[in-house]
A and B are shown apart, each in its own frame.
Chain A
Amino acid sequence: MTIQVTVRCFSHVREALGKNVLKLELEDDTDTFTVEKKIREMAGDNLDGITLRVAVNSEYMPEPIALKNGDEVALIPPVQGG
């Protein structure tokens, strides 16, 4: 069984992948930590040293959680410009 999730990219993630949104086909029960790892792999070394915060379906998730088919994962780096 596989599930499809949408990943929404912000700031450094958007820049590293050159995309606002991407769709991922994943194994059932994949969690947010695995998605983050996958995105980091896709980004090469462009996200090294940048911590990402994760939201699922527009809700902040401080800890990894298992994903369901159709979930939307947002990866949000902190930004410091002012």
Chain B
Amino acid sequence: MNISAKELAQWLDGNRKVEVVDVRREDQRKQWPLRYLETLETNLDQLSPEKLKTTTVLICQFGIITQRWIEAEDPDEVYNLIGGAQAWNAYKKDERDLSRYSRQMVLPEIGEEGQRRLLESKVTIVGVGGLGCPAAQYLAAAGVGKLCLIDGDVVDITNLQRQPLFRSDRIGDPKSDVAVESLSGLNPDCAVESIHTFISEENCQKLLAGSDVVLDATDTITARRLMDEYCRRKSIPLIYGGLYKFEGQVSVFHLNGGPSYADVFPESVTGGGTCSDDGVPGMLPGIIGSIQALEAIKVILGITPNLSGKLLLYNGLSHTMEQIELNV
């Protein structure tokens, strides 16, 4: 059984009789003492289910070891603290329960500090289609604080095969509105805004201003060029994704003065058809949109290496990935 840091705090505030046991190593207890929490300290190998007489909450560093122990021993009335000491201390800092992020906070590249930075960040996704749907889902779940979804289109029956935020009963409704509704129950930490319009020269600045990252999930090169130019001027990282049948491309543009879309594909180029024209298996935008979302959080958190200065080429038939160095 699992409980969150917030639930444990409520139990203790409500004077519920509960034994809290810190099973971490001595060095971990010293380095990360538990804030405002009285515990028994013991090693997990000295613990047996018979010794635990009352309701007990076990705390390890990240809530993983204790969860495994409980699954193996199956004791009565023993709970694992989700996210462990890290989640408890994060909660006690500002009463914000970060336990839902414990599986990513355990990564040293993210940690509690990175999670808080994600919660303060704003990502704008232009295009809520094949790429925008998975990217929005994963970014909302990851705890990006503000997500702005821009699309002037309405849900069409042919979108449903690859855009899982939409259902048959919403055909004809604005995509950005339906996406916000679908995401609303996913993560209360993430405020999702719908802007039902197409990006244009007139509204580009207004729509993209204040974004930490812009995610390009459009299906026209004209829209891409508008974003590229604005993001270049404002030095906003632009996470590019594009599809052709079973293939996809991803890159990060304008990061710390890095290359732009226009450097790689200059003004004169044409780009073939859209997914509607050429066809696409629904999973392909799922993969490419997820890679874009991953690059977005890496850029926000300064995690390297990333795809700045590189063009990733993915082939969904052979499952090969190649990177082209963009020394421009």
Contacts and interface: CB of A to CB of B under 8 A. Distances in A.
A58 B325 contact: yes
B225 to A, nearest CB: 11
Contacts of A10: 247, 313
Interface residues of B, number: 44
A55 B324 contact: yes
B272 A51 contact: no
Contacts of B275: 81-82
B243 A60 contact: no
A53 B313 CA distance: 13
B272 A62 contact: no
A36 B131 CA distance: 31
A76 B272 contact: no
Interface residues of A, number: 24
B130 A80 contact: no
Interface stretch (B53-61, B110-118, B261-269): B261-269
Given A60-B327, A78-B221, A81-B280, A11 B244 contact: yes
Interface string B285-328: 10000000000000000000000000101000010001111111
A82 B328 contact: no
B6 interface: no
A12 B322 contact: no
Contact of B264 (A20, A50, A60): A60
A81 B273 contact: yes
Contacts of A12: 244, 272
Interface string A51-78: 1010100111010000000000010111
B278 A81 contact: yes
B324 A11 contact: no
B66 to A, nearest CB: 43
A79 interface: yes
Interface of B: 127, 129-132, 216-221, 224, 241-245, 247-249, 263-265, 268-275, 278, 280, 285, 311, 313, 318, 322-328
23 contacts: A15-B245, A20-B318, A49-B270, A51-B269, A51-B270, A53-B269, A58-B323, A60-B324, A60-B326, A74-B322, A74-B324, A77-B272, A79-B243, A79-B248, A80-B272, A81-B243, A81-B273, A81-B278, A82-B130, A82-B131, A82-B216, A82-B218, A82-B219
